[in-house]
């Protein structure tokens, strides 16, 4: 990374910013995506930029659910393609899910740029590009309503990293399981999803690939037990409690870096 040594305390965070900016220059990320990334950074800062046990628990249930699903689909937007293109392709392979481009700000060029990046990272098929996005999700007014009739339209489970609340709600109304990855446990997406992974996509997606490799060998009964014992309200509550406790400790000490 230009001019920033790996020993810099914010190196990783700066590296991610650079990936997002690079994605913008390549026509993958839109300006609004930069704002969304900034909001994610703020929550990650508060969470201590690490994966907590509540996120691990949500990831395990999410992977088990995808392995049990008949038609799991991973919905990919610009920020996800810029941040974790290789890991998202590996996750799709590991759980047997399809990959579909789905964009709030949809243009043909952007769809194709995102599909190209995924293919460069080994994806065999990418849905939701051009005339393939010919079906619509009812009651949704943004460009995100356009989906593939072979993908999200017929999916039983959709993984939506970095989603907007409206579409999560619309997918739930269609009876689908929705798995969200969102650093903000207060967002409508986080609140509406069936399973919410409160973690950064750059940590969550590779961890989910590892889990998929481990869980793939288990029988359906065991996977079903993982899913049925999962409670998203409780897990979201734990994420919010973690934020409160961290902030309480910080406010008592009046310093951030030692906590
Ligand atoms: P909602 O409609 O769900 O209330 P919003 O309007 O707050 O969402 P958007 O701007 O559509 O959110 O999407 C950005 C969301 O993605 C934010 O909640 C942000 O915290 C989260 N986010 C951004 N970057 C990351 C990341 N790298 N990993 C996980 N979550 C992220």
DSSP string, 111-160: HHHHHHHHHHTT-S-EESSGGG--EE-TT--SGGGEE-TTTGGG-SEEEE
Measured from the Cα of 16, ligand 1's closest atom is 27
Count: domains in the chain: 1
* d(C-alpha 54, C-alpha 61), whole Å: 11
pLDDT at 80 over 90: yes
Categorize the per-residue pLDDT at 256 as very low, low, confident or very high, splitting at 50, 70 and 90: low
How far is ligand 1, taken at its centre, from the CA of residue 28, in Å?
17
- Residue span of the structural domain in which 111 resides: 53-239
How far is ligand 1, taken at its centre, from the CA of residue 159, in Å?
14
Measured from the Cα of 83, ligand 1's closest atom is 27
250 domain residue, yes or no: no
41 domain residue, yes or no: no
Q: What is the pTM of this model?
A: 0.95
8 domain residue, yes or no: no
Phi, psi of 242 (to 5 degrees): -60, -45
3 domain residue, yes or no: no
Chain mean position to CA 12: 19
pLDDT at 138 over 90: no
Q: Is the CB of 103 under 6 A from ligand 1?
A: no
**More reliable by pLDDT, 95 or 104:** 95
Q: Is the CB of 110 under 6 A from ligand 1?
A: no
230 domain residue, yes or no: yes
Tell me the CATH number at 193.
Answer: 3.40.50.12640
Nearest residue (CA) to ligand 1, atom 30: 182
201 domain residue, yes or no: yes
| pLDDT tens-digit readout, 56-69 | 999 999 999 999 99
82 domain residue, yes or no: yes
State the pLDDT at residue 96.
98
45 domain residue, yes or no: no
């Amino acid at each position: 990374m230009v001019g920033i040594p790996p020993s810099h305390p914010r190196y990783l965070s700066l590296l991610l910013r650079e990936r997002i900016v690079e994605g913008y220059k390549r026509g993958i990320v839109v300006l609004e995506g930069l704002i969304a990334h900034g909001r994610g950074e703020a929550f990650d800062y508060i969470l201590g930029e690490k994966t907590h046990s509540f996120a691990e628990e949500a990831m395990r249930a999410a992977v088990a659910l995808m392995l049990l699903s008949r038609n799991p689909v991973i919905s990919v937007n610009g920020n996800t393609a810029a941040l974790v293109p290789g890991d998202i392709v590996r996750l799709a392979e590991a759980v047997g899910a399809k990959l579909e481009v789905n964009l709030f700000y949809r243009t043909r060029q952007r769809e194709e740029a995102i599909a190209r990046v995924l293919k460069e990272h080994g994806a065999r098929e990418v849905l939701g590009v051009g005339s393939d996005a010919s079906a619509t999700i009812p009651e949704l007014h943004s460009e995100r309503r356009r989906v593939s009739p072979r993908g999200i339209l017929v999916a039983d489970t959709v993984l939506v990293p970095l989603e907007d609340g409206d579409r999560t709600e619309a997918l739930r109304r269609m009876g689908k399981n929705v798995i969200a990855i969102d650093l903000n446990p207060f967002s409508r997406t986080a609140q509406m999803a069936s399973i919410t992974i409160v973690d950064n996509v750059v940590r969550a997606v590779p961890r989910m690939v590892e889990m998929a490799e481990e869980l793939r060998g288990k029988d359906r009964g065991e996977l079903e037990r993982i899913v049925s014992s999962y409670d998203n309200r409780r897990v979201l509550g734990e994420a919010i409690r973690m934020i409160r406790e961290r902030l309480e400790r910080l406010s008592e000490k009046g310093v951030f870096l030692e906590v």
